[in-house]
Structure 1
Amino acid sequence: MPSETGEGQAPPILDFSAFYGTDSAKKQELVDQVRECCLHNGFFQILGHQVPLELQQKAMNWNKRFFDLPLEEKVKVGKDTNTWNRGYELLRSQILEEGTLPELKEGFYIGDDLPKTHPYFINKKLNSGPNVWPSASALPDVDDFKDTAQEYYNQVVSLAKDILKVLALTLDLEETWFDEFTEGAVATMRLLHYPSQPADSETKLMRGIGAHTDFGTITLLLQDKVSGLQVFDYANDSWLDVAPTPGAFVVNLGNLMMRWSNDRYISNLHRVINNTGEERYSIPVFFSGKPDFMVECLPNCKAEGEEAKYAPITVEQAVVGGYQDSYGRAEKHKKDEAEKKNGGYIAVKAPEVAVA
């Protein structure tokens, strides 16, 4: 069984300012550090980026203000009111780790604010359409919420594109190699709130977010002051705590990048268990890519004459499959619980799941 406590060394904090500087030696050092992290566990953290601390803090403050709204106001902008994954998500809506309870988190989905006349919306492309917002009567200064969220989203998406330039260099490709993939890319931002787990909760079954790997290409996560994020370290068979660092983004590779690199780079397990007694808030931005872009084995990721491990797949096909699996588990759990209450079956103890 893996250790349930954070041990070993958490993902390192790298100085990303070298990417924007003129010192080629420092830039190469950054590339080498990122490569090492991608090969080890697919996680690293960055400071020295170009997203202002003031904007990060303002976005996080709006995160808290939104979740402070009464439930009846939040559900008015629920994501079940549209088909393009925008708006509020109730507590216990998702199960990412099989064998655990529905997750103790609530969310609010935001993305590129596309009109219904946009080709992505008309053709029902991945998570594409207009954002939804609370009314001004429910949330005074809601226009500032919109402006802050959109500015923060745009700057983090721009940073994601810079990170992909560094990833290209780690694979001995031209810095611009991913430019076609990032043009017209889709990314999804989630404001997240994790109530503290009850003191008497079953830790082996209760999660803020269960152990999972992300579906897309890369994720950039902003944490508030409360801990809870853990990354699995296969070398030590243990969970590593990722303590919040002011201004830092936690960056991790998703399943699509792992597939793209022919499993050379790692999309790693991570989870959130908030037993701090405090409310935890975070803002991940999931960068997927251009929906119709065909992902097939990257250059330099397989030996000459070797077959790629995976067939070509579009970005949209890859990401949608992950969503369907995780939300499907939560819906099945709710159905099973309803049947249980109605005497539809005999309850059995959930298995203890070893995540390794």
Structure 2
Amino acid sequence: MPGVGEAPPILDFSAFYSNDASAKQKLVDDVRNCCLHNGFFQITGHKVPFQLQQDIMTWNKKFFALSLEDKMTVNKDTTNTWNRGYELLRSQILEEGTLPELKEGFYIGDEIPPTHPYHVQKKLNSGPNMWPSPTILPSVHDFQHTALAYYASVTDLAKDILKVLALTLDLPESWFDEFATGAVATMRLLHYPSQPPDSPQKLTRGIGAHTDFGTITLLLQDRVAGLQVFDHAAEQWLDVTPTPGAFVVNLGNLMMRWSNDRYISNLHRVINVSGEERYSIPVFFSGNPDFVVECLPNCRREGEGAKYEPITVEKAVLGGYKDSYGRAERFKREAGEGVVGAGAKEVAVA
């Protein structure tokens, strides 16, 4: 179990794929301890190829190197309503009382056609991806191929992690399979300019302190640090140092609801004061949008009822989006500046 004041440990996930029962049990025990302690751990020994990790990170940097004008051609707020494409700097406020966040993003999901039932029924984050045109990005087809291959590989890994989580909760390994069938997951390419030297340190965030809305998140970091996890026992923020090839894994609010607060969906944030550009790629695994999440029977202590009402995946995740984007919009209205003006201003500062 990670000690008080210690950053999330790095676990060798290859034990899950081995025939060594004792090594697999140790992995399960270690993951359980992390879930009880602060809801974060890192994994190596997974099946996502290192070269694929490097390739998608290279594309992450290439995309954000495009001009603001070119990125705006796939602006998610003007080209679609299903959360695909480019997101300007200062679009979210996840931590109440801070400034709009110093990050820009590019949303990617499962590549589905307009005729897909999820898109027709306007399900959570479901619709065709938005890609730059070949005139803007001549090698866009390679970008698409790399991004979708990476997305598929990481969502497969998420399903394997769910199998381990089932075992940590004394459930059959296949317990989450129905929930993971037809699952929605969202990948975000992220770019964090370094915070300007004159920015107010207590108000400026790459991402403000928050918990994730979905079930589990798998994060690929580049070489520049900035991610911090709150350790409640030590009452301090811990740096999560980037480790080549590793994924940072954390539980989201849905897993906390499922476990009746036995497991922790923990506060984390990004503060980039490195003087360098930071890049990362989280994949948020939400689950089947219609699946109803309710307290697991074996997570109720004696004499204790369920702390949360049953809720669908879609309703829970959309509630989180509404809160965080709503804060940013209110801030901009009060400050008297529009979305495009705010984004352009930050690009100039960076």
**Shared fold, TM over 0.5:** yes
**Partners of 1:230 and 1:321 in 2: how far apart?**
24
**Partners of 1:152 and 1:56 in 2: how far apart?**
7
Tell me what 1:203 maps to: 201
Find 1:242's aligned residue among 236, 240, 243: 240
The SS at the match of 1:146 is helix
What's the offset of the Cα at 1:306? 2.9
Tell me what 2:17 maps to: 20
What's the offset of the Cα at 1:259? 0.8
The SS at the match of 1:34 is helix
What's the offset of the Cα at 1:299? 3.1
Does residue 146 of the first structure (1) align with residue 144 of the second (2)?
A: yes
Find 1:87's aligned residue among 85, 88, 91: 85
What's the offset of the Cα at 1:194? 0.1
**Partners of 1:65 and 1:42 in 2: how far apart?**
32
Tell me what 1:75 maps to: 72
Find 2:5's aligned residue among 4, 8, 25: 8
Tell me what 1:188 maps to: 186
* CA deviation map 1:202-225 (0-9, x unaligned): 110000000000000000000000
Find 2:126's aligned residue among 125, 128, 133: 128
* CA deviation map 1:111-141 (0-9, x unaligned): 0011110110010000000001001111121
Does residue 55 of the first structure (1) align with residue 52 of the second (2)?
A: yes
Coordinate RMSD, CA, aligned:
0.9
**Partners of 1:241 and 1:9 in 2: how far apart?**
9
Runs of 4+ more than 2 Å apart: 303-306
**After alignment, is 126-135 or 291-300 more displaced?**
291-300
Tell me what 1:174 maps to: 172
**Partners of 1:232 and 1:239 in 2: how far apart?**
4
Q: Please give the residue correspondences for 1:258-269 in structure 2 after superposition, counting only pairs within 5 Å.
A: 258-269=256-267
Find 1:116's aligned residue among 101, 114, 117: 114
TM-score (norm 1): 0.93
What's the offset of the Cα at 1:161? 0.3
Tell me what 2:341 maps to: none
The SS at the match of 1:60 is helix
**Partners of 2:325 and 2:301 in 1: how far apart?**
37
What's the offset of the Cα at 1:8? 2.7
The SS at the match of 2:297 is coil
**Partners of 1:245 and 1:306 in 2: how far apart?**
40
What's the offset of the Cα at 1:84? 0.3
Find 1:165's aligned residue among 163, 170, 188: 163
Does residue 223 of the first structure (1) align with residue 217 of the second (2)?
A: no
Letter in 1 for 2:28: V
What's the offset of the Cα at 1:199? 1.0
Tell me what 2:345 maps to: none
* CA deviation map 1:169-216 (0-9, x unaligned): 000000000000000000000000000001111110000000000000
Letter in 2 for 1:114: I
**Partners of 2:58 and 2:189 in 1: how far apart?**
11
Call closer, same or farther: CA 1:306–1:8 in 2, change over 3 Å.
closer
Tell me what 2:268 maps to: 270
* CA deviation map 1:48-103 (0-9, x unaligned): 00000000000000000000000000000000120000000000000000000000
> Could you tell me whether the CA contact under 8 Å between 2:59 and 2:143 is conserved in 1?
yes
Tell me what 2:342 maps to: none
* CA deviation map 1:303-353 (0-9, x unaligned): 3553111111000010000000000000000000018xxxxxxxxxxxxxx
**Partners of 1:322 and 1:89 in 2: how far apart?**
17
> Could you tell me whether the CA contact under 8 Å between 2:207 and 2:269 is conserved in 1?
yes
TM-score (norm 2): 0.94
* CA deviation map 1:146-182 (0-9, x unaligned): 0000000000000000000000000000000000000
Letter in 2 for 1:262: N
Does residue 38 of the first structure (1) align with residue 38 of the second (2)?
A: no
**Partners of 1:160 and 1:76 in 2: how far apart?**
31
> Could you tell me whether the CA contact under 8 Å between 2:5 and 2:233 is conserved in 1?
no
**Partners of 2:323 and 2:309 in 1: how far apart?**
20
> Could you tell me whether the CA contact under 8 Å between 2:231 and 2:238 is conserved in 1?
yes
